[in-house]
């Protein structure tokens, strides 16, 4: 819940207007998990929340996003002369 609250905060949402947060809360006894789907390439990041702290999940998400940004920048540089 803390992780969802952090990424759904107005200030965080303002940093990326292309980010859409959708919550699917279930009470079926299954281990809590967060699935992040990147729409531009379809890749998924799955984090099992039972063994991770909020900070660890935020760090993992930030690292993945930064890596994707860097990869996109490198693609753009290769295409331009």
What is the reported pLDDT for 48? Answer: 86
The two beta strands, 33-37 and 44-48, are antiparallel
1-78 to CATH, choices 3.40.30.10, 3.40.50.970, 3.40.50.10860, 3.30.450.20? 3.40.30.10
Q: Where are the domains of the chain?
A: 1-78
- pTM confidence score: 0.73
What is the reported pLDDT for 80? Answer: 60
Per-residue pLDDT of the chain (81 residues; tens, 9 = 90+): 788 888 888 887 788 777 777 778 788 888 888 888 887 788 888 888 888 898 998 898 889 888 888 888 887 777 665
Residues 10 and 50: their CA atoms lie apart, in Å, by 26
Residues 78 and 62: their CA atoms lie apart, in Å, by 24
């Amino acid at each position: 819940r803390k992780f969802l609250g952090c990424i759904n905060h107005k200030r965080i949402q303002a940093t990326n207007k292309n980010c859409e947060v959708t919550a699917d809360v279930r009470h079926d006894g299954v281990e809590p998990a967060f699935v992040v789907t990147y729409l531009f390439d379809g890749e998924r990041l799955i984090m099992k929340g039972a063994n991770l702290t909020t900070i660890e999940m935020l760090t993992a998400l930030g690292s993945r996003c930064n890596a994707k940004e860097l990869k996109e920048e490198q693609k753009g540089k290769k295409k331009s002369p």
